[in-house]
Structure 1
Amino acid sequence: MTVPRSTLRLQFHRGFTFDDAAKHVGYFAALGISHLYTSPITTAEPGSTHGYDTVDYTQVSAECGGEAGLKRLADQLRVHGMGLIVDIVPNHMGVGGSSNAWWLDILEWGRHSAYARHFDVDWHSPDPALRGKVLQPTLGAPYGEELAAGRIALHFAGDTGRFYIGYGPHVFPVCPIDYASILQSADRADLNALAERFQGVTTQPADQPRAAEGREMLREFVAQNGGPAIEFALQAYSPHEPVTRDRLHRLIERQHFRLAWWRTASDELNWRRFFDISALAGVRVERPEVFEAVHALPFRLYQEGVVDGLRIDHIDGLAEPREYCQRLRQRLTELRDTAPYVVVEKILGRDEPLRDDWPVDGTTGYDFMNDVGALLHDPDGAEPLAQTWTELTGRSPRFEGECLAARRKMLAENFPAELDRAARALHRIARDSLTTRDFTFTTLRRVLIELVVHFPVYRIYPQNGLRSTTDNLYFDQALAGARHSLSRADHATLDLVNAWLGDSAEEAPAGRNGAAAQQGQNSAPPNHAGSSRRTAQTLFSQLTAPVAAKAVEDTACYRYGRLLSRNEVGSDPSEFALSVEQFHAANLERSQHFPHAMLATATHDHKRGEDVRARLAVLSEIAQDWGATLRAWSTLNAPHRRALDGKPVSSVGQDRGYDWAPGPAAEAMLYQTLVGCWPPDLKPDDAAGVKDLAERVAQWQLKALREAKLQTNWLAPDEAYEAGCRDFLFDILAPQRRDGFLEVLSAFVERIGPAGALNSLQQTVLRLASPGIPDLYQGTELWDFSLVDPDNRRPVDFAKRDAWLVQTPPSDYLPGWRDGRVKLAVIQRVLALRTYLPELLSQSVYLPLVVRGAHAPHAIAFARRHGNAWAVVVASRLAAGLLGGNSDVPMIDPQAWGDTAVEMPADLSARALFDWLSPAAPKIDENGLLYLRDALGSMPIAVLVEEGVPRS
């Protein structure tokens, strides 16, 4: 297997194509990157900026440059000895427009479509109006209103010979069994003759070629005679007259889709989607024919040597992640002699392992992002910050409460259809036995809600219908929470559900009072029962995962503001800090089980840039001071608050409600955001720069308010409140405040900026030198003060970064740290070390080192050893107190370290070391101690290697 030394993620779209990337391959190579790592390359919805809404798995995106462009990029990479890893999306496809041929075929032919089993559609919905149909919740208003307004109409596509129902950009094909009646409605001899071609056509697969022949004749007729004849038929279905509108309605009702208001999706959707996005339909990649269709393109590109590895998006959305990974590995291994590099996007809870029976190289790095982020935080700041948050906002000091409330809200408002489908699967199992058939759907649904609400991780992974010991670690927590929440009357049902969801191989547990006795002679056959159980387990897992994502990351993390640097994808805000020992333990675990996992600190999904989080982490070290600052700013800016009708209010004091904008919680989060993303070189009197910042923060603010789902949300926006919040933001950042709030904000950022930059450099070197494959997100080689998308997907000035690549030590750039060149230089230098000694930082032993002395808690150190080669990494941490408020450079005065030293391995005692990042060559004393005043005399971080390794 060709294991990457390092990867760099690029976001491709029509504004940044494969050819655009090819122009910068020389820069990527000089930086030290071994593999580019792309966003999805398959054809997505037109204009997609991310590529996750694939509409055609078989074609490389033409907007991004097509297959020819991709191969030109790959060829350019090969010239520089580099490789290519591509992101693939096997879980879902885009179905929100008119570009997905598979989905359109389903709408046209229903259950008899060749692709009917490619998507997770429930063709046997309990709703009679949806049996054999697909709900299409695309209308902007209720169906009747849109129909009466003439926005739903019958159309004809001359290029394909198809009739379709059109609504804005949406296309809904009419089934050919209705073509005859449509053509006959014009009462014309020529169309009547064409109608005969469709008489007797059925939806059966054997009839579909006949319909295709008829459509071709229809296409040729229009090509030869023009469209006026067809217009007569379309007028018979005009939405503008009552009689013809009724005929149009009856035609629509006969189709294999049901047009509906978009608000119906959460309650009535009868197909699996990605999270709660009704424009993304779940794909049944567990079916062999679907698996092959979805992967045909990446398999071919891998076989041809264009692609070297795959990143699997949202692995937890799949029915069987384990089996998927095994099948994927097997197929890729068959195609090329070289083993593939495969990583999966997986959110792991604390101490939750990536399963060893998944034949992958690791995760995409969210777990490391969480670990290194938590390491930056001072645990002593947790309680004071929580207390300040509660005093200012009246909200809970604990994240767990927000999380539970958000999960309940998600199940009630965003996922009731998915919840009902999982409950029906359990109800079918209950109905199969005489001893359990009286356990009602409502009771089962109630029990299921509590299990999902209390489920602590994304999902379980049963094998042969049984949960593993690891699964039970988490399922038992959910059971305990559900048992506490439910009445005793529901406990017997809970025992049943526990068994059906993989606790027991028996059909039902032998519960107390006989309520859950084993099934009798009228039980369903074992194979049927086993299939029903596996279906229920899959639906349960495909419910807990999106609920966790939407409730935690996209709701609770926007409600809870103790410290926003811990509210990140893959993080648990209730876990405030990580000790050095815990960080070492996580690195050791990764080195032993998944040594080639990605190490990320920034992604296309992050909510705050890596350097925003690093700066905000400083607040954990000055928690009391930050609390006082928040209160002062709240008082200073009180005159700019808005009533919910948009009018200013003079003073609201400490009102904890939401009867003013932005409200205490949103205001407190806003201040954190401004502190975190304020550019290092921005001055309060730079009106244009401040305005640009305000516009970026306003984008974040709107998304944050709607995701919190408190005063406003995506489903029913409170536009007056949102406008008041925006006005408040622009008022406090107005040019006339440059001697008021802008000045104190800028001064505060200036004060903590050096400590934040030190945190960033620590985070950077740990990512580059820890066990795993360091991954860079586009543009983060310089300071990354981005916010949530689309802010974190802005264009990158690679030419500027290329021009700044140099061979001088990073320490040369520390005094001018605000421009970010010191970060770029650190990345370039450590990646150069990985290039020169690739095994040293990729296949080596990881050895935590002890730091002792007066300031031992303010440093972290470890060694990497491969054979006789060594590297020692030392970094400052929690340095705000040692820096002092007047420091303008992100480095602790060497003399301030005093007796603090690293206990070095005995094998290094007689070796000469030098710092890869500075001119320093610190000595190990006769007691085997490396004093930090020497090791960190030029930089706040050091990577020590032996003399003899070239410095450039």
Structure 2
Amino acid sequence: MAPAAGKPIPRATYRVQLNGAFGFDRTAAIADYIARLGVSHLYASPYMKARPGSTHGYDIVDHNALNPELGDQNAFQEMVGALKRNSLGQILDFVPNHMGVGGSDNEWWLNVLEWGEESPYSGYFDIEWDSDYRYLQGKLLVPVLGDQYGAVLMSGGLELRFDQETGSFAVWAYDSHKLPVRPQDYGIVLGDDHPDLERIGDAFTHLAYARPHQIPRAAVQKAELATLVAARPDVADAIAQRLTAFRGYSGEMESWGRLHELIGRQNWRVAYFKVAADDINYRRFFNINELAGLRMDEPELFDVAHRMVLAMVKDGTLDGIRIDHIDGLIDPKGYCERLVEAAGTPFYLVVEKILARHERLREDWPIDGTTGYEFANLMGGLFVDPKGEEAFSRLYAGFIGNDEPFEEVVRKSKIRIMESEMASELNVLSRKASRIARSNPATADFTANILHQALKETIARFPVYRTYVDGTGPTDLDRRDIDWAISQARRVAQGPDESVYDFLQRLLTTDLVAAPKSGYSHRQVTRFAMRFQQYSGPVMAKGLEDTAFYRYNRLVALNEVGGHPDHFGVSVSAFHRANQDRARNWPGNMLSTTTHDTKRGEDTRARLYALSEMPEDWERQVQTWSRLLRARRGDVEGTAPPDRSDEYLFYQLLLGAWPVELTGAAPDRIDQSAMTAFAERIVGAMTKSMREAKLHSTWAAPNEAYESAVVGFIHDALDVTRRNAFLEAFLPFQATLARIGMVNGLAQTLLKLTSPGVPDIYQGCELWNLSLVDPDNRSPVDYEARRTLLDEVEDVVERGAVAGLLERWTDGAIKLAVTRQALALRADKPEIFAAGEYLPLEATGERADHVVAYARRNGDDSVVVAVPRLVGRLGENPDWGNTAIPLPRGTRWRDRLTGKEVEGQDAVSLATLFADLPIALLSRDG
């Protein structure tokens, strides 16, 4: 979609993760540094008020207040001023889908707990008040307990308290989760021992007489109670005495009877966190109990939640917004349209959207593109050798003893999610579908159980995260994906009768109500189809990204957000076609290589891509390492933990994340403290992998014995206190792979910074990023070191000595230099990169398959980009022979990386182009 006139499309962005340790003041302090890098915009993580201690900002509790842990209003304005002084705009990551709940911070949520369906905020959340379970009728499940309810109750983990300042009562769980008591029940607490408390308690008990004004009336009575307590010590003492009646003795259930009865009367049901899988009755962000979904399609909620962010767009504080988890909203297109209309002024708008391989971003959405997950995987595929797939698959299956195809791994993983963590949501969908079916005699016999089976099998085979049926009839794209999933589900042996799939297909496409007098409710059918879409997305995310990606470890560089681990490599022509399409249709699309959500950093992946070029050597290494490590542990049979799949993953993590400062070191020269720190990073990543895979351990029920054995395996492998045969065998191969990864890393950096779209640099990635899954990828960034190195790099560039940085590549200066120079060229020639043509340059010669080249052209001006690929097969000093790339018209060019003139007529040889650096960025020199 072409940008609207006057819309501020960024030249390049720099993502910063704000938190309590890196707030507005520290962001202001790096404004000059990121401006010197050459970006045009700060891209900030959410900074609205979040749960205390939030490290990411996605658990917002107030959309219209700044997070006090990041700084106050003055600090925020100082940051805004620093950005403007350095000619930087700002893009904000905004979270409309959900809010942080639990604790005692979200006033909307606390009000819902207190007043139930009568709360003015109850319609803001996706709550199923009309449950089929009697014990949840009219109640909101609050799964915050770490043990069974009865055990927590008897241990004193639930306590009734009085807030003297507000005159209100609440049950507190673990001193942290506030569960307000219904004001109608205050009389039970206050009792009749004290005449004033009896009088006030009676007024609370009969609040129903004040309808529809019971909420403000209760506020008045609370204020009266608070005033009375403040003025009368005898009243305060009487309340304190009454509270003792609701306390019991540890281990004696009968003594807690009064508190249990009071809890039973509330609008909430407090429960063990594991109960959520079966009984949750509010929509969550995925399966996270502490993040409750919002009904952002409600106009009143939309207006309230967007008041501050839209004000910042209108006053120029923000140039753009990144929408988090767009697929969580019931109507993404409608939301984007409303947002654009409400802003009243052009602004840059991108959405976090994961696309399937066959899926295209909807062109009727009023947005500038996605946040770029698909680009990271597209570009990464260039460095994966498809010729090695067969051998790679064979060695992987042989080592782990399993050749199950990835498609089946995904299906089983999605089934696992629907039968455990997200079972309750599927039960709700099934019951809603059965109610619709019963409304018409033709389908009245489709029970909730039959529909449950059909829905589960359909979602397990859904080819995309979700469709976008919105009541106007399905698009051809929607119908294609629904029909495909239904057709695959029909093939299930011993599945439900095929007629139920006919009904389900018509229900999900809303064909049930396409004709008048259908016998079905148009609203119910449409609403069901839209709610189904809100469920299929989280199941895909949890089943694919957070389960299958940790079970299928063939080449984990491909197991990335938005990635396709079963697709081994991307051709140069496919890369060019995608770039041309983006240049035509989505020139504002973000281009990302690392984000706060990536499972491995860009340079970690760059190393691992190279394994695809050397399957036989990789197999020999893995077998050798396994024998050495298992022999050291006395595991001759090779059956002790870790299992073969986890072990195979471990070796890849070691290779990918091995610190650059330890590359090339002999085992006996490695600093023990540095190795200990690295080992802890690997332990963290492996622990997360084991629990996400849900095979040997889980987050809800960690298998301590298995995990402990794996941790021991890791520490044995990285033990430098004595001779280590494993490290002696490992380090030479690691050094070779790291060198190839360095070239891949430089190549993908230049491709990102020059391809059509808006390149984003994740914090610190101007140097090597060898991170693993979060929280490792959110580690603090040393900006002072980067500032010092940038000073040096600018001097090196001025002297035309960038090529010399290759000799010291481990310090990252060479990557910083490439980043700075490419961004400088984007600033010098903005029209070429913002709206210029994208022209593939087809290489010729014996090494043509090993180069990616293209030109960006605007009128008579051009820029040429060339990078190598699959360099592992070329050796450390490639012989490019007669390989050359064509050049646009003009004979005088200058390499903006090295500063050297490049002479060329119609073509230039790769031997000339890559004589000093393995990548080239040419611009016209006259």
Which of 668, 671, 678 is matched with 1:686 structurally?
A: 671
Give CA-to-partner distance per residue, 1:761-797, whole Å, 9 cap, x none.
1110010000000000001110001111111111101
Q: Is the Cα contact below 8 Å between 1:112 and 1:205 reproduced in 2?
A: no
Q: Is the Cα contact below 8 Å between 2:183 and 2:205 reproduced in 1?
A: no
Match in the other structure for 2:248: 239
Match in the other structure for 1:453: 460
SS in structure 2 opposite 1:561? coil
Match in the other structure for 1:494: 501
Q: Is the Cα contact below 8 Å between 1:450 and 1:482 reproduced in 2?
A: yes
- Does structure 1 residue 917 correspond to structure 2 residue 897? yes
- Does structure 1 residue 818 correspond to structure 2 residue 820? no
Which of 668, 692, 696 is matched with 1:711 structurally?
A: 696
CA spacing shift, 1:458–1:640, aligned 2, 3 Å: farther
SS in structure 1 opposite 2:69? coil
Give CA-to-partner distance per residue, 1:123-177, whole Å, 9 cap, x none.
1011111111100011111111111122112111122211001111110000100
Q: Is the Cα contact below 8 Å between 1:706 and 1:717 reproduced in 2?
A: yes
Q: TM-score, normalised by structure 2?
A: 0.95
Give CA-to-partner distance per residue, 1:248-294, whole Å, 9 cap, x none.
11111110000111111011101100001011000000100111111
Shift of 1:575: 1.1
Q: TM-score, normalised by structure 1?
A: 0.93
Match in the other structure for 1:551: 543
Shift of 1:855: 0.4
Which of 256, 264, 268 is matched with 1:257 structurally?
A: 268
Which of 534, 552, 563 is matched with 1:560 structurally?
A: 552
Shift of 1:738: 4.9
Q: Is the Cα contact below 8 Å between 1:180 and 1:196 reproduced in 2?
A: yes
Match in the other structure for 1:302: 313
Which of 334, 344, 353 is matched with 1:346 structurally?
A: 353
Letter of the structure 2 residue corresponding to residue 76 of structure 1: A
CA spacing shift, 1:143–1:915, aligned 2, 3 Å: same
Give CA-to-partner distance per residue, 1:472-531, whole Å, 9 cap, x none.
2322321221011154752111011101111626469xxxxxxxxx977xx24xxxx111
Shift of 1:68: 2.6
- Does structure 1 residue 898 correspond to structure 2 residue 881? yes
Cα distance in 2 between the residues matched to 1:273 and 1:205? 30
Match in the other structure for 1:267: 278
Shift of 1:834: 0.8
Q: Is the Cα contact below 8 Å between 1:465 and 1:533 reproduced in 2?
A: no
Which of 151, 159, 162 is matched with 1:156 structurally?
A: 162
- Does structure 1 residue 696 correspond to structure 2 residue 681? yes
CA spacing shift, 1:120–1:947, aligned 2, 3 Å: same
CA spacing shift, 1:489–1:785, aligned 2, 3 Å: closer
Match in the other structure for 1:847: 839
- Does structure 1 residue 49 correspond to structure 2 residue 49? no
Which of 633, 636, 657 is matched with 2:628 structurally?
A: 636
Match in the other structure for 2:89: 83
Which of 293, 302, 325 is matched with 1:314 structurally?
A: 325
Cα distance in 1 between the residues matched to 2:245 and 2:619? 70
SS in structure 1 opposite 2:902? coil
Which of 738, 741, 758 is matched with 2:726 structurally?
A: 741
Cα distance in 2 between the residues matched to 1:737 and 1:662? 23
- Does structure 1 residue 837 correspond to structure 2 residue 844? no
Q: Is the Cα contact below 8 Å between 1:618 and 1:752 reproduced in 2?
A: yes
Cα distance in 1 between the residues matched to 2:550 and 2:99? 28
What count of residue pairs does the alignment treat as equivalent?
902
Q: Is the Cα contact below 8 Å between 1:687 and 1:735 reproduced in 2?
A: yes
Q: Is the Cα contact below 8 Å between 1:848 and 1:862 reproduced in 2?
A: yes
Letter of the structure 2 residue corresponding to residue 267 of structure 1: D
Give CA-to-partner distance per residue, 1:42-67, whole Å, 9 cap, x none.
10100000000001111011101133
Letter of the structure 2 residue corresponding to residue 565 of structure 1: A
Cα distance in 2 between the residues matched to 1:507 and 1:288? 26
SS in structure 2 opposite 1:774? strand
Match in the other structure for 1:513: none
Cα distance in 2 between the residues matched to 1:172 and 1:898? 74
- Does structure 1 residue 592 correspond to structure 2 residue 584? yes
Q: Is the Cα contact below 8 Å between 1:422 and 1:540 reproduced in 2?
A: yes
Shift of 1:204: 4.5
Match in the other structure for 2:41: 35
Letter of the structure 1 residue corresponding to residue 685 of structure 2: W
Cα distance in 2 between the residues matched to 1:540 and 1:502? 11
- Does structure 1 residue 280 correspond to structure 2 residue 282? no
Cα distance in 2 between the residues matched to 1:544 and 1:933? 51
Match in the other structure for 2:4: none
Letter of the structure 2 residue corresponding to residue 768 of structure 1: L
Which of 424, 428, 451 is matched with 1:421 structurally?
A: 428
Give CA-to-partner distance per residue, 1:308-347, whole Å, 9 cap, x none.
1101000000000000011111111x1x4xx100110000
Q: Is the Cα contact below 8 Å between 2:513 and 2:525 reproduced in 1?
A: no
Match in the other structure for 1:93: 99
Letter of the structure 1 residue corresponding to residue 480 of structure 2: L
Letter of the structure 1 residue corresponding to residue 684 of structure 2: Q
Q: State the superposition RMSD in angstroms.
A: 1.6
Cα distance in 2 between the residues matched to 1:204 and 1:735? 73
Match in the other structure for 2:200: 194
SS in structure 1 opposite 2:147? coil
Give CA-to-partner distance per residue, 1:380-409, whole Å, 9 cap, x none.
122212111111112235211211110111
Letter of the structure 1 residue corresponding to residue 432 of structure 2: A
Q: Is the Cα contact below 8 Å between 2:510 and 2:525 reproduced in 1?
A: no
Letter of the structure 1 residue corresponding to residue 912 of structure 2: D
SS in structure 1 opposite 2:306? helix
Match in the other structure for 2:492: 485
Match in the other structure for 1:672: 652
Cα distance in 2 between the residues matched to 1:812 and 1:32? 22
Letter of the structure 1 residue corresponding to residue 899 of structure 2: P
Shift of 1:196: 3.5
Match in the other structure for 2:217: 210
Letter of the structure 2 residue corresponding to residue 189 of structure 1: P
Once the two structures are superposed, the pairs formed by residues 771-782 of structure 1 within 5 Å of their partners are: 771-782=756-767
- Does structure 1 residue 929 correspond to structure 2 residue 914? no
Match in the other structure for 1:512: none
Which of 423, 439, 446 is matched with 2:446 structurally?
A: 439
Which of 110, 113, 118 is matched with 2:119 structurally?
A: 113
Which deviates more, 341-350 or 418-427? Answer: 418-427
SS in structure 2 opposite 1:842? helix
Cα distance in 2 between the residues matched to 1:752 and 1:460? 41
Which deviates more, 342-351 or 395-404? Answer: 395-404
Match in the other structure for 1:466: 473
Q: Is the Cα contact below 8 Å between 2:479 and 2:509 reproduced in 1?
A: no
Cα distance in 2 between the residues matched to 1:63 and 1:55? 13
Match in the other structure for 2:717: 732
Match in the other structure for 1:612: 604
SS in structure 1 opposite 2:865? strand
SS in structure 1 opposite 2:213? helix
SS in structure 2 opposite 1:117? helix
Give CA-to-partner distance per residue, 1:526-573, whole Å, 9 cap, x none.
xxx111111111221111100111111111111111111001111011
Q: Is the Cα contact below 8 Å between 2:482 and 2:508 reproduced in 1?
A: no
Q: Is the Cα contact below 8 Å between 1:362 and 1:596 reproduced in 2?
A: yes
Q: Is the Cα contact below 8 Å between 1:396 and 1:402 reproduced in 2?
A: no
Give CA-to-partner distance per residue, 1:87-143, whole Å, 9 cap, x none.
110000011311100000000000000101000001101111111110001111111
Letter of the structure 2 residue corresponding to residue 743 of structure 1: E
Shift of 1:837: 1.1
Shift of 1:303: 1.7
SS in structure 1 opposite 2:749? helix
Which deviates more, 261-270 or 235-244? Answer: 235-244
Shift of 1:739: 4.3
Match in the other structure for 1:511: none
SS in structure 2 opposite 1:197? helix
Cα distance in 2 between the residues matched to 1:865 and 1:401? 45
Which of 409, 412, 418 is matched with 1:405 structurally?
A: 412
Cα distance in 2 between the residues matched to 1:546 and 1:819? 40
